[in-house]
Structure 1
Amino acid sequence: MRITINIAKSYKSDTRDFHLHSEFATSGNRVVLFGPSGSGKTLTLRAIAGLMRPDTGSITVDGRILVDTADRVFVPPRSRNIGYLFQDYALFPHLTVRQNVGFGLKRLFGRISPENAERVTRIMDLFGITPLAEVRPSRISGGQRQRVALARALVGDPKALLLDEPFSALDVPLRQRLRVELASILNRLDIPLVMVTHDPADVAFFGGDVVHYAEGKVKEILSAEAMRRSLVRVA
């Protein structure tokens, strides 16, 4: 997956001014946006998804221009065919697991086609959450909620999956298990991944291109192994 990004965005508040300048190009199927909290990683991820409009700049994914402020191009999020996993999972508390997974596949008036209903069943089977189909999110564990959110992000057969700190809310043993599960599913589905994280363990496990952020800018682009060596020297 080829991603080329060169965007700028400024935010001002009573307590802080923040300026994002995100510029990088990668061509691998695993991209990790790594750095401390508040460094601009999630803003960049949201810009790829179409959830944030840059003030200036462009975003191209696999040759398709998603954003180009100079030419007034902005592809709406729903038309980008990109799955997104929010850090807090953003499940609808009043809907069942099945309804959450299929929410994005609904047609006009809230109906879902038989074909899409079958797709929901298949993705729930893949994630092992079929027994939870009629349960609401408040009644399931954190790891199960993550599986539901991932199933929802993938049910539409997206061209890429964006993950925002996917393991930060989980304890260490569960993080390790879900990393393995996620990697296995992504390999089976052959879907490119862009992940935001501040955890070096995620970098070490998923590998790929590591885009290192600091203070709103891309500091460097490294391989996962080079980033691991850099972190070891700092420690």
Structure 2
Amino acid sequence: MSLDVSLRHAFPGFTLDARFEAPAGVTALFGRSGSGKTTVVNALAGLLAVDHGHARINGTVLFDTETGARIPPHRRRIGYVFQEGRLFPHLTVRQNLSYGRWFAGSRVRAADGDAFARLIALLGIEALLDRRPGTLSGGEKQRVAIGRALLSFPRLLLMDEPLAALDEARKAEILPFLERLAHETEVPILYVSHSVAEVARLATTVVALENGQVVRTGTPVEVLSDPRAVPTLGIRDAGAVIRARVLRHHADGLSELETAAGPLFLPQVAAAVGTWVRVRIHAQDVILSRTAPVGLSALNILSVEVAALRMGEGPGVVVQLRAGEERLLARITRRSAEALALAPGLACHAILKSVAVAQGDVWIEGRDD
């Protein structure tokens, strides 16, 4: 899948002027509230006619204001999952799902007859089929809404902050299903979020929006570890994602991971030895030292090199650190950066407490074999 988008649309006091291309996989539209994310997906879905621009999926033109081409919304083959499930309250779960198949029409007849059974198994909603939406939890409703959208056999699935209305427990319940969805279906997903944790966990491509404009596009590793993206991400959410391989599990409850910067000790990681994982490390949890420290309680002392520095408007500095192909971020004060004489190319050590990384910031990728 290739998605080519160029949009310009003016609202009172705000103008969206966004251009990006996205490959196959999960493309996250990331930005703070009011940055233009929902406007983009509404334009793709056909719910908004923009002033100028175009959108193409695999070369198929959804709309083009220059040529006047425009596919009506109901013929675009786009599934849309909103913040709330928006299920039909008078229908059972099975009937809500069947509506998606009915909407798809002839595409269902040409599809694998087992698609329905496979999808409800993927989403874990087998036991919900005869219930009505009013009896479901928020997470269950969202899973059914996703199933209904997928059973319309879309060429693109739009998800507009599908976890925003859920509490933390329900988010933790549905995130594994979204991961399975991304890995086990071939439907490309445009995922709208202002949550760095969701983007880091789910996305293959990140398009960062700020004040209606695209400020950065790339993989989660590239975007989240870029000091220039910190204003968009938010200071307290800034951090990088690195890959690591589970080396061994210790009897004291710690797991030892192998990284490009050295061993990383974390609270028990629920993955077998040899498994690759992604670890999100918050910039505010990283301490820097010019020399290898001794006598610390922190177990993780990683050998890195300063790649770049970004001075904030206040007393803070964001330091990008390089370890082979991996990148880390550290947020320190300007005074500390000057005292350490930090500059690109300087070798130093990044210090991280084991307990600073929560279990929710470790995601399993899989094994090589």
- The verdict on a shared fold, with TM-score over 0.5 as the criterion, is yes
- Residue 2 of structure 1 aligns to which amino acid in structure 2? S
CA-CA distance at 1:68 after TM superposition:
0.3
Q: 1 CA distance for matches of 2:92 and 2:191? A: 27
Q: 1 CA distance for matches of 2:192 and 2:122? A: 24
Given the alignment of the two structures, is residue 4 of structure 1 paired with residue 4 of structure 2, yes or no? yes
| Residue pairs, 1:49-198, within 5 angstroms | 49-106=45-102, 120=116, 122-198=118-194
Residues matched between the structures, number: 226
8 Å CA contact 1:102, 1:117 repeated in 2: no
8 Å CA contact 1:5, 1:58 repeated in 2: yes
Corresponding residue SS for 2:15: strand
- Residue 5 of structure 2 aligns to which amino acid in structure 1? I
What root-mean-square deviation, in Å, do the aligned CA atoms of Structure 1 and Structure 2 show? 2.4
- The structure-2 alpha-carbon separation of the partners of 1:122 and 1:209, relative to structure 1 and needing over 3 Å to count, comes to closer
- Residue 125 of structure 2 aligns to which amino acid in structure 1? I
| Residue deviations 1:171-219 (CA, integer Å, cap 9, x gap) | 2243234222122133222221110000000111013221111111112
Q: 2 CA distance for matches of 1:143 and 1:180? A: 11
User: Which of 22, 27, 33 in structure 1 is aligned with 2:29?
Assistant: 33
Residue 216 (structure 2) aligns with: 220
Residues 66-75 or 91-100, more deviating: 91-100
Corresponding residue SS for 2:50: coil
8 Å CA contact 1:105, 1:116 repeated in 2: no
Residues 172-181 or 205-214, more deviating: 172-181
8 Å CA contact 2:31, 2:208 repeated in 1: yes
Residues 17-26 or 210-219, more deviating: 17-26
- Residue 54 of structure 2 aligns to which amino acid in structure 1? S
| Residue deviations 1:56-85 (CA, integer Å, cap 9, x gap) | 111111111111011111112221212111
- The structure-2 alpha-carbon separation of the partners of 1:195 and 1:60, relative to structure 1 and needing over 3 Å to count, comes to same
Q: 2 CA distance for matches of 1:157 and 1:219? A: 32
Q: 2 CA distance for matches of 1:191 and 1:104? A: 15
- Residue 62 of structure 2 aligns to which amino acid in structure 1? L
Q: 2 CA distance for matches of 1:187 and 1:78? A: 27
Residue 246 (structure 2) aligns with: none
8 Å CA contact 1:207, 1:225 repeated in 2: no
Residues 59-68 or 219-228, more deviating: 219-228
Residues 29-38 or 129-138, more deviating: 129-138
CA-CA distance at 1:28 after TM superposition:
3.5
Q: 2 CA distance for matches of 1:118 and 1:189? A: 14
- Residue 211 of structure 1 aligns to which amino acid in structure 2? V
- The structure-2 alpha-carbon separation of the partners of 1:18 and 1:141, relative to structure 1 and needing over 3 Å to count, comes to same
8 Å CA contact 2:3, 2:22 repeated in 1: yes
Normalization by structure 2: what TM-score?
A: 0.57
Q: 2 CA distance for matches of 1:58 and 1:225? A: 29
User: Which of 19, 23, 44 in structure 1 is aligned with 2:19?
Assistant: 23
Q: 2 CA distance for matches of 1:105 and 1:116? A: 12
- Residue 187 of structure 1 aligns to which amino acid in structure 2? H
Looking at both structures, which has the greater relative contact order when contacts are Cα pairs under 8 Å and sequence separation is at least 6? 1
8 Å CA contact 2:216, 2:223 repeated in 1: no
8 Å CA contact 2:6, 2:53 repeated in 1: yes
Q: 2 CA distance for matches of 1:122 and 1:222? A: 32
Higher strand share: 2
Q: 2 CA distance for matches of 1:203 and 1:39? A: 16
Q: 1 CA distance for matches of 2:87 and 2:18? A: 29
Q: 2 CA distance for matches of 1:177 and 1:191? A: 22
Q: 2 CA distance for matches of 1:101 and 1:139? A: 16
| Residue deviations 1:103-162 (CA, integer Å, cap 9, x gap) | 23337xxxx99x999754553343222322222211110111011101001012222211
8 Å CA contact 2:30, 2:207 repeated in 1: yes
- The structure-2 alpha-carbon separation of the partners of 1:208 and 1:120, relative to structure 1 and needing over 3 Å to count, comes to closer
